[in-house]
Structure 1
Amino acid sequence: MDSVPKLPIGEWVERIVEALGQHKGILFDPIAIIISGMVTYFTEVLAAIPSVILILLFGALAWVFGGRSSMFFTLLGLFLIANLGYWDETVETLGLVIASALLSITVGIPAGIACARSDTFTKLVMPLLDLMQTMPAFVYLIPAIFFFGLGEVPGVIASVIFALPPIVRFTNLGIRQVPPELAEAADAFGSSRWQKLMKVQLPLAKTTIMAGVNQCIMLALSMVVIAAMIGAKGLGADVYRAVSQVDIGKGFEAGLSIVIIAIVLDRISQHAKQKERKAL
Structure 2
Amino acid sequence: MTEQVMAAIDGSTYSEGVSGYAAWASLALDAPLIFLHVNDNHPQTAEADLTGNIGLGAREHLLEELSQLDEQRAKVAQEQGRLMLTAAKERAVEDGVAEPATRQRNGTLVETLEELQDEIRLLVMGKRGEMAHQDGDHLGTNLERVVRTLHRPILMVPEAYKTPEKVMLAFDGGKTTRKGVEMLARSPLFDGIPVHVVIVGAETGDNRSQLDWALKTLRDAGHEAEGAIRAGEVEPTLHAYQEEQGIDLLVMGAYGHSRIRHLLVGSTTTEMLRKATNPVLLLR
Report the TM-score when normalising by structure 2: 0.23
More strand by percentage: 2
Report the TM-score when normalising by structure 1: 0.23
More helix by percentage: 1
